[in-house]
Amino acid sequence: MRTTIRLDDELLREVKQLAADTGRTLTAVIEDALRETLARRAQKPKRERISLPTWPGHLLPGIDLNNSAALLDIMEGLDDPSRR
């Protein structure tokens, strides 16, 4: 089958040089590269979904999760006016 592809000029020069060095055609070098890429993709194991543990609880309105000092105060009950 014939098709047209666009390649970066430098890449094409390198591929032509590889073809000349190995005594193969440009088409054979490109086909081999594509086959190798497809074979590597097929060999990649599928990633298994993992489930992250969670704990029951809730967030209070107005809590800034980026403020670790305020979070620590809340967890230790220091922000409770009845504890002052």
Q: What is the pLDDT of residues 45-64, one digit of tens each?
A: 778 889 988 877 776 777 88
What is the tens place of the pLDDT at every residue in 1-12?
Answer: 889 999 999 999
Residue 70 has pLDDT above 50, yes or no: yes
pLDDT tier at 80, thresholds 50, 70, 90? low
Please state the pTM of the whole predicted model.
0.50
Lowest mean pLDDT segment, chosen from 11-20, 33-42, 67-76: 67-76
Residue carrying the six token digits 């040089």: 17
Per-position b or e across 36-66, b if 16+ CB within 10 A of its CB: eeeeeeeeeeeeeeeeeeeeeeeeeeeeeee
